[in-house]
Amino acid sequence: MGILAGQVALVTGAGRGFGRAIAQRLAAEGARVALAARSTGQLEEAAQAIQSAGGEALAFACDVTDPGSISAALSDVQARLGPVDLLISNAGVPGPFGPLWEVDPQEWWRAQEIHIRAPFLLMHGVLPGMVERGRGRVICVSAKAARIVAPHLSAYCTGKIAQNRLVAEAAAELAGTGVSAFAIDPGFVPTQLARETMEDAAAQKYLGGMVDRLKERVDDPSAQDDLARCARRCLDLASGRYDDLSGGYYELPDDLDEALAEKQAATADQSSSG
């Protein structure tokens, strides 16, 4: 029996990379995992791998930017696995790359639909049930781009900082409900998205330094380590131990125990002074 036994987790973008690693770790800790993405080919393979390891997982086709698709998927998840206790919003895109005045406006806005509209719609779908049951957790996979200005990466940076604020707003509104929300940076791994970035002509033109670092990382034998670290971070936040940190954005080097102690001390100081 793992620490997530009896819980249902929904992981988007779960067919590969970070999403798949997260789903596998959650399943190993007893969660019944719903794997969601637009294409079910990789999802089915990921679900079979989890099942072969003794876990429980099912694949669900879902366009996370479409309200109707999300609603249908959530109904299917509930019917087959149960109501969602844990949401991992992981879908993302790296581009478009280049100056604001050169990128395709429709492609730029499509990126925002994936970065912002998708987690909003997913939370809109799962939070009513979580609040009604008095328990639940949401984790949005954000990025360090949320706290930097990176020329020629405006779609990604804008989407990720907005994603973090969405989590903070949700957490403030969820205070006292028993439901928590977090944003995390997953780390740096040459996933398929990274490979697509390396092959993108605009990224090569405007972000040569980043492309070079990605290429170096591909040949680094330790490059996959952050997959496990990210999955562990999601498990830690899903455990409930760090619910007092709801609303925060955390990167892998961050010490959650230290952050928790600081938060609890600050809360105690406010209570004593009040």
The dihedrals phi and psi of 182, each to the nearest 5 degrees, come to -140, 155
- Nearest CA among 251, 247, 243 for reference residue 226: 251
From 142, 154, 180, 246, the catalytic residue: 142
From 89, 154, 160, 250, the catalytic residue: 160
Is residue 142 part of the annotated active site? The answer reads yes
Is residue 160 part of the annotated active site? The answer reads yes
Is residue 249 part of the annotated active site? The answer reads no
Give the DSSP letter string of the chain: --TTTT-EEEEESTTSHHHHHHHHHHHHTT-EEEEEES--HHHHHHHHHHHHTT-EEEEEE--TT-HHHHHHHHHHHHHHT-S-SEEEE--------S-TTTS-HHHHHHHHIIIIIHHHHHHHHHHHHHHHHT-EEEEEE--GGGGS--TT-HHHHHHHHHHHHHHHHHHHHHTTTTEEEEEE-------HHHHHHHH-HHHHHH-HHHHHHHHHHHT-TTTTHHHHHHHHHHHHHHTSTTGGGTT-EE-TTS-HHHHHHHHHHHHHHHHHH-
From 39, 69, 75, 156, the catalytic residue: 156
Partners of residue 59 on adjacent β-strands: 35
Alpha carbons 229 and 227: distance in angstroms, whole number = 6
Residues with a known catalytic role: 142, 156, 160
